[in-house]
Structure 1
Amino acid sequence: MADNNGAENKAQAKKENTENKSGETKFVKSQIIGSDKYKNRADILNVLLEDDKEYTLSDVDKKLEDFLGKEVK
C-alpha cells in the first residue's frame, strides 16, 4: 500500500496564496516568516504560528500585538 503523505506534502508545498471572504490574501507560516515585513519577528512568529494554518497579514499583526502587549510575570 502506497503512502499518500508524500503527495499531500507536495500539494501543500505547492499551495498558492488563497483569499478569504473579506478578500485578504492568506499566507502559510513559511511565507510569513520569510517575508521582509516580518524578518525581525521571525523567531516570535515561528512559535506563535501553526505550520498547517494560513493567516492574513491582519491575523499576524494581531497575534504579534497580543503577544508583545502581554505583561511580564
Structure 2
Amino acid sequence: MRQLAKFSITVREEDFVLHLADDSGETIEFAASPEQLDAVIDALDELLSENEEDLFEVEDEGETYQKPLG
C-alpha cells in the first residue's frame, strides 16, 4: 500500500482538484465537486473525533502523553 506523503487542493471554476502524492513522488489528481469535498471533510472529522484519544495527545492526571503518528 502506498504511503501518503503530501497533498494539495487547487480551485477550478466549478470544482476542486485534489493532488495526492506518495512517498515515491508519484502524484494522482482527482476532480471533486464542493459537495464531494464536504463529504470527505465530514468523514475525516468524524473518524478523527471518534479516535482522537488513540491518535493524539491524551492528558492523564496532569501529565501529557503523545502517541507517534508514523
Give yes or no for TM over 0.5: no
Q: Name the TM-score, length of structure 2 as normaliser.
A: 0.36
Q: Which has a greater percent of helix? A: 1
Which one has a bigger Cα radius of gyration?
2
Q: Which has the higher contact order (CA 8 A, sep 6+)?
A: 1
